[in-house]
Structure 1
Amino acid sequence: MTYFRLFTVIATVIGSLCATGTQAANYSFIQQHPAPTDTIKPEQNIRTISDEELALLVEHIPNEPNDVIQDRLSCIESEIPLEFNSTVRAHIDYFTIRNRKYTRTMLSRENVYFPLFEKYLEKHNMPQDLKYLAIVESGLNPKAASWAKAVGLWQFIPVTGKEYGLEQNQYIDERMDPEKSTDAAMRFLKRLYKTYGDWELAMAAYNCGPGNVNKAIRKAGGGKKTFWQIYPYLPRETRNYIPSMTAVIYSMNYAADHNIFSDSILYTPEVVYLELNKEVDLEKLAEELHLSPQQLMALNPEIKQTRIPEHLLNYRIRIPAQTANMVANVTDKECILLAAAPVKLPEPEITPEPTKATVLLASAKSDTTVKPEQEESVSSEKVIYTVRRGDNLSSIAQSHNIALEDLKEWNNLKGSSIMAGQKLSIIKPAQKTDTELIAVNNEASEPAKANIAKPAPEKKKKQDLIYHVQPGDTLWTISQKHNGLTVEQIKKINKLKSNAIQPGQKLILG
């Protein structure tokens, strides 16, 4: 369509509206063919159509038939059911027709957060498509906040955030920490999946709580236990939640087929952690690192103020990797930061998923015979902990390096309420004494000793040396983060013929 034809159509429509005396239509769109001045009344509103508005007017917006949408959904390999119906279609139209700008924004942000989500989904052995849930929850905005006081990428409310070990005070709110909140969300979703055995119901419970899902299941009756079977009995917001999830998965996978492309692609900057040993003024720290305060705060969205107080000793903040060498040069005492340059990005200090503890619990509850290969994991000891004033389940779990879910299960706790003086059972792996280790070695033959001593440490060593390539990584930057390793060694170990690597690629660094 040429500008002249477009103008003719618009002018015709405006003329017909003006003829009926409709004041709302008193606009003249002027591009290259302005209307004669004698035809414009003084009371008319005149504005020039922008190039962006013109582009939107001529943008091709596909409107695919239902059978095409349904066929595309069926082609997406996912452990999450992707059912197609009129409700799902309405949500797909929202993301591909009515709010295409939102989908463009998600395409530009996905490379910032998806690699992080994928890492933790792999760690917890969960479906990779659950990463799209953060789009439904927060639009990939780590500082998103709702009317219900839910905050962060995964929209934790205060009580659930505390239950999963996310610190909240006047200085920090770890619900906005991308890494810690992601690990907490994965543990929460995994727990819900164990309850329902269905990812759609697990996500519904994540949205409205297990109590509302259980109530809907009871009202549905007759053994109906899928999302669409209990759909009419769920809260209104939750009825839209799963269709939105399905629509987001579809829209992100088939954006190009709907002529939706991102104007710019964002990536996660390479960062290192800086551990603070005294009170620090983040504005002064930013100045010393040649950053703006906004840049430093953007890397640390969980920090609510520009000051980290002294009582938060050893708190870790993110700084750009390229500024790490400046840390040793900081001499201003008022800045007060740890004079030790970090060299690599460590894992966050969060409670890991205690797979061994689950095995220990199972063995403690049953009389089944333990297989020889399980004997080392099953060896355990039971500790009785007396609750002290000021304790909560999260702090107790963290201090004993166990999962909150296991602590509650071991003690048959349904909620998070505990009382001072209450006795809690904690199951931990038993530590073998030197005498026990000598006895094992004496009973084993020489070949057996070699087999016993080596496999477990070797397996752990290999696991520790797997590196996931991040956006912006090169073989040289990876080698710099692992002392004593050269680019040629990395290439030789991984049988690489060139220096080309891709985000998400796994490299063996040993």
Structure 2
Amino acid sequence: MTSSKPLFILFYLILSIPSIVFGQIPQVPAQLEFADLTISITPQARREIQLDVDAQYRNPSYFKVKQDRVNLFMPIVERELRAVGVPEDLKYLVIQESGLIGDAVSTSNAVGFWQFKQGTAEEVGLRVDGQVDERKSIAASTRGAATYLKKHNGVLNNWMTALVSYQMGLGGAKAYFGNQYSGKKTIEVDRNTHWYFKKYLAHKIAYEGQIGYFASNQQLSEVQIQGPSTFAALAKRFGVSEDHLKEYNKWAVSGKIPAGNHTLYLIKDGKLPVEPTVQKSTGTTPKTTSTASTTKASPSYKQANSYPRISGNTTKANEPNQITVNDLEGVQAAKSASPGRFAEQIGMKEKKFRKLNDLQEEESVEPGKYYYTEKKKTSAEVATHIVQPGESLWSISQKYGIRLATLKSKNRIRKDSELKPGMVLNLQEPRKRGESIPIIQVEDAKPTQQTRIETQAPPVQETSTPSQRIEKEQEVEKPSSTPRYHTVSQGETLFSISRKYSVTVDQLKSWNKIGSNNLISIGQKLIILNP
């Protein structure tokens, strides 16, 4: 009779392979260094952050692909941060914002590696037009983000609050933090610390010990070229495929290299990282954090426009297993349909689909809206929501990925008829028995609306990101005075005109109904509303 010991050893080794290759999930420490700060973390906050760290490791194949992107792009990110004088620790923020997907787009049209809206991109010196979009260039967009962060740190005098200002704008950060952290070098992170910084810490902890661990021995090269040219010609010149060049040079919007000097990106061996096959809905589909702003904001950084946060392959958002909605598996409806018909299209039973999305049988699926294909959460990432005109309890629950029954229970509110614009709804903590719901006066529903406190309600946390970014301190309320007019002269751009009148590009576009192409003509009269 042969010994079973060798078989046992072989079986043990097979079981051990995933842990050997993948490594142990890093644990959140009680203290760590960030930039020039010492961060201590309370036990409760450590548990909260650990959940986000664990989520990064949930799917080994997806983590491997993401790690390959980190290995490709991070040397350039580090170099550009150093050149501007920003601590290299801020490099993990780009993973949080886009997962290092160069053409990531949020629901608020924030674009690229660092998730810039067009107006903010232009304000930090990035070129965004019909030929070039530097938000999709890793070096250029990192320079822009570093410029943005350094400017804010110069005002806030603290890299933690400067990092949070990337999400809520300089004005929002100043209002939220005041001067309590200015010049402070030791910070305690607890349950009340801004969620965006805790999310950042999760990314730092998840990736800082892993950089280089899954290196695929590929190197992203930068080559200076002179346009105009085509990808076909450049592919022959550098011995790679056209698809390869298109994959790493999405900054060339038209698919061609325009006149002038440009940086071309390519991998030396010409091989593209392989994307993993996403399995059917099993609960193990990878989640990405984005951001996307992922996602998230109007020029005034209203939290209402920050969600839902969409990540993943947004070009195929109408197909199942392609995107995440608030870090949950989801799908976007392409056209109106009944819940049963839509559920059939995405390979799910109608009863389950309606339950996941709190839909009644008679309700229809609306085109353009996002729906969940896994169970929604019992609390949102942010603490509160300001009710906007026209919103319902259901639409708010879908916006944040929180179960409808939970939302009602937390706020002791049962019917849409009880909702009033300006109500501050709790999305995390249950409202105490007998506690009235604060109301903040809001203007009519417009993307750039301003809010002001009408009662002695507690301050409401605003969230948004440069995924949505026009700096909040530049926001101006719609004036009651007579507007001015500016006649466009030769050589003027929206950006130069916005600087002249101390307004933002997005405000000019909104006031004058200018489309995404930013086209203005000589002699055109633009409305300028006074601050």
TM-score of the two chains, using structure 2 as the length reference? 0.44
Pick the structure with greater CA Rg: 1
Higher RCO structure (Cα 8 Å, ≥6 apart)? 2
User: Which structure shows the higher helix fraction?
Assistant: 1
User: Which structure shows the higher strand fraction?
Assistant: 2
